[in-house]
A = this chain, B = another copy of it.
């Protein structure tokens, strides 16, 4: 059952609403014996934090994580890690006009249909503040992954905003380069265009979408479960569970549809008997038959433009009558920069889970 729990062995259960007391979660299945670097976890939260730059929402939250269990003398004990991040800067009154009115293209109408009621303040549970728990869960997972595969490294970045696409999409880039600009795009020329586009769109009270690319290095061959638990299927579910995600592809993805098999085959050649073979290309995106092949895992996640506009939109209220909504809440004109650490987090959790599952594959 995958409602508010993610994963099979390494599992994150999350809770919390935008304007509730706190966002938090429980990490279960964390292996014992990992010396946790809590500063590294907080750094990932800071990369997700609202208000970090001119191109993100003005909501001001320090988003400090408090760990409640599962760690002794700085080392994981194998017991569940509970954590909370208190909400501080609610402006719940901003949302009073939405108590009975549905924001179009949001979760308002659908939550109301599902549950018969909803928390209208800041989107309640459907708010992207929920992703705080993912970032914590992912940052912890990353440290376990490192302990298992010292060479593992995730490179996630904004590869497209609106009609501005970077050059060199699909390669691996270091964090310094990625975080050298607010947009988190390693192509500094494109980044500047993206930044301008976002500010322009913001000025108009509009929003814009884009793509995050993630490349994972250092995962050995063998991870992923054939058939229903294919590694890319698990990654797809992980990524599409992020707010505003609309599409997922790996390797050649949608572009591969237009190609011939002979153009797409990743031939192999020997590096010597007993050695891992060399792959002459990576159209497979590091996954074949649902199982990692040791090459870089390459994937892309499409994000829609946020549906909150600072202009009047036609909608209905919960009695079914016509209404007009003029949103006042604080929102991102483009989610991409802040989506980057969330994509990293989902990748780390999925891969650690796959690594732990894989321990049961052989006698």
CA distance A340 to B264 in the complex (A): 22
A186 within 8 A of B: no
A269 within 8 A of B: yes
CA distance A107 to B26 in the complex (A): 22
Work out how many copies of this chain go into the complex. 4
B-facing residues in A125-143 (Cβ within 8 Å): 125-126, 130
Known contacts being A207-B260, A270-B322, is A79 close to B124, with CB within 8 Å?
Answer: yes
Q: Are B226 and A309 in contact (CB under 8 A)?
A: no
A69 within 8 A of B: yes
What chain B residues lie within 8 Å of A111 (beta carbons)? Answer: 226, 289, 291
What chain B residues lie within 8 Å of A277 (beta carbons)? Answer: 102, 109, 316, 320
CA distance A309 to B5 in the complex (A): 40
Return A194 CB to nearest CB of chain B, in Å.
12
Q: Are B9 and A290 in contact (CB under 8 A)?
A: no
New contact pairs (4) apart from A162-B260, A273-B319, A277-B316, CB-CB < 8 Å: A31-B361, A211-B254, A247-B249, A248-B248
Selected A-B contacts with CB under 8 Å, 12 pairs: A2-B228, A4-B227, A4-B228, A23-B69, A24-B82, A68-B84, A105-B266, A109-B221, A110-B293, A247-B248, A264-B304, A277-B320
